[in-house]
Amino acid sequence: MANYSVLMMLFVLSHSFLLSSQDEGNTTSQPICPNSFSCSNLNYLSFPFYTSNNSACGLCEVNCDEVIPKIKLKEDYPSYDLVQVVQQGSSATIQVRDTYFADQINSNSCDSFMYRFPPNSPSISYSIYPGSTISILRCAKSSQLGAQVDQYFGKEGEYYSFQRCIEYSYYYTYTSGYISANPNIPPPCSVVDLPGNPLSRLPKGADFNNLFNLLTSEINFVLQVSDDCQKCHAGGGKCLDENQEFRCEYNKSNMKKVNANDNFLFAENPRNIVIKSALATIGIGTVIISIVLALCLRFKFIRRHKTESYINVEAFIKNHEALAPKRYTYSSVRKMTDSFKVKVGEGGYGSVYQGTLPNGNSVAVKLLNELKGNGEDLVNELASISKTSHVNIVSLLGFCFEGRHRALIYEYMSNGSLEKFIYNRSSPLSSSQLEWKKLYEISVGIGRGLEYLHRGCNTQILHFDIKPHNILLDQDFCPKISDFGLAKLCPEKRSVISMSGMRGTPGYIAPEVFSRNFGGVSHKSDVYSYGMMVLEMVGGRREVVVEDEDMSSMHFPHSIYKQLVSNRNLGLRGILNEEDKERVTKMVLVSFWCIQSDPSSRPSMSKVLEMLEGNLESLEVPPKPFLFNHPKSPASRH
């Protein structure tokens, strides 16, 4: 029977192949693009990346045949060495090395100062990761230039001058972001943005007067695919940019509108056409094929239960049975959620449903998507939270691991996540309950939870995903840290840990987690994320790389730091008295200390709490974080 099944499967596949070949011969349809492809030490990459033999499948070509993979962001731009890639949804953060630019820097060529970043297109934008550039003035040489430059930098005071080039003079301040925030430049000058080294990477005693010392050939880009291009790709089409206009192209014979409101056409996925044709050819063998499919499904089910991820999780549960919370069957999970009736949240991990335990206590049941790697997300949650007991850490009450069903059962937080209160401060509910005193108490509570993870457990726990979405609020608005899917346990409590790949959410990730050039990864990486979150609580806006047309959120940190230094009113809503002003000022000061680019300059969480709960007079104003020296995308100024 087994041999007969194999023969039948070969028969089906051969017919499918013939139909696919016929279809390709009769039309000019796009190739069937792979969902992802393996690329050297970068693991698997997906759209918008593509390999040279799949040119219709993406926007950025990657050559994986080289020892160091090469990437070409645009047709008329040179290739870069591709060092690191982190993909999340429609965006990707990449680190590249421009070898040609490196040669220019090493040879002290003035052509270095003519560097061009790839411009945005209707299909994809290329933003520079914060802290990866420096802004300088490029001025045509003239006799009146000195006085004009002195006047421009008058408020800043000290600035640097570079005069080695024949045609242009260059002026800059390296740490203050002054040029980015002061667009009224002298007439013979223009602003130039160049790839720049972070302060932590410069050698001790570096000569700031030599502009070449401040440049770097390693650049961090954030790639964002446009909504139109995402729809086009999802429909099997190819994204094209013609005269700065977006166009989705596909085989006309198969084109159809996905949405009546769309102004471009999509094609039906050719993979679906092949499958439909294949099924049509085997209609006469319905009974036999049903038997074959039943055998295949049975084989797949058995194999799935023997996968490495399943074995990995089961082994962990067995070895930590004494510490693990109660294990529930899937039928019990269905019963406690009334067949998943009330959904209260959703994210990349899966969905969250409200449920009730037999004793009447409300719970939140998180149904996980497919296991990551060897079941790391589920193991991390069980390993991390089973070792904790703190008022500011969410309690894990149970879990389910049964075949393909995986769930985590937490105490129910009636007020949901902190995120919704940050962005809806004007609503009647949040304005009456989350006044500055409450926001301050929440920031202190989160700090206590993080200090406990870093110092209060037998095993140090680094969270690596601190953000408002992962802070839950109970009925009294007591904050609790949740979602330990990216956490890392450090039994030896080392100051610096080794870590492959990148963890976290863009906008909250510490620079050293993305690029080791900024320093070693440690508990200070959580401190950075905490600082970004507190700054977001103060500003009520998300601190991420954005498009040029929406720069207000990127200007906020710079403007509030400037007001802080000049001892002016911070210009924030809801500050009703001196106590509120003191709380907000402490939150701002502490957040700027936490987001220093150099990890060694950030305080520990114990010090953070001491600063938040101590006297305002004892707090020093921190140096301006290098992260905010450049709030605008360089491409916008060329």
Q: Residue ranges for the binding site for ATP?
A: 366
Whole-angstrom distance, CA of residue 497 vs CA of residue 466:
18
Collect all residues with Cβ–Cβ distance below 8 Å to 633 and sequence separation of at least 6: 120, 125, 126, 127, 128, 545, 547, 548
Which CA distances in Å does 409 have to 328, 356, 361, 387, 469? 9, 10, 12, 16, 18
Active-site residue among 465, 483, 526, 598?
465
| Start-end of H helices in 244-399 | 270-281, 286-304, 308-319, 330-336, 376-385
Contact (Cβ atoms closer than 8 angstroms) between residue 441 and residue 481: no
Residue 231 to residues 174, 236, 240, 254, Cα–Cα distance (Å): 42, 9, 13, 16
Among residues 195, 3, 235, 234, the alpha carbon closest in space to that of 102 is found at 195
Amino acid residing at 43: N
Q: Kind and range of the H or E element at 61?
A: strand 60-63
Strand 60-63, strand 49-50: pairing: parallel
- C-alpha 325/C-alpha 317 separation (Å) is 10
Annotated binding-site ranges: 366
CA angle 413, 335, 339 (to 5 degrees): 85
Question: Given the structure tokens 């953060």, which residue do they identify?
Answer: 93
Q: Note the helical H segments in 397-505.
A: 419-422, 428-433, 436-451
Tally Cβ neighbours within 10 Å of residue 430. 16
b/e per residue, 434-457, with b = 16+ CB within 10 A? Answer: bbbebbbebbbbbbbbbbbbbebb
**At CA 482, angle to CA 343 and CA 466, rounded to 5?**
120
Type of residue at 389: S
Question: CB–CB of 113/166 below 8 Å?
Answer: no
Pairing state of beta strands 60-63 and 70-72? antiparallel
User: How many Cα atoms sit within 13 Å of 154 on the Cβ side?
Assistant: 8
- Whether residue 580 lies in the annotated active site: no
Q: Which residues have C-beta within 8 Å of that of residue 495, sequence separation ≥ 6?
A: 520, 522
> What would the two tokens of residue 374 be?
């060897």
Q: Give catalytic residues, as residue numbers.
A: 465
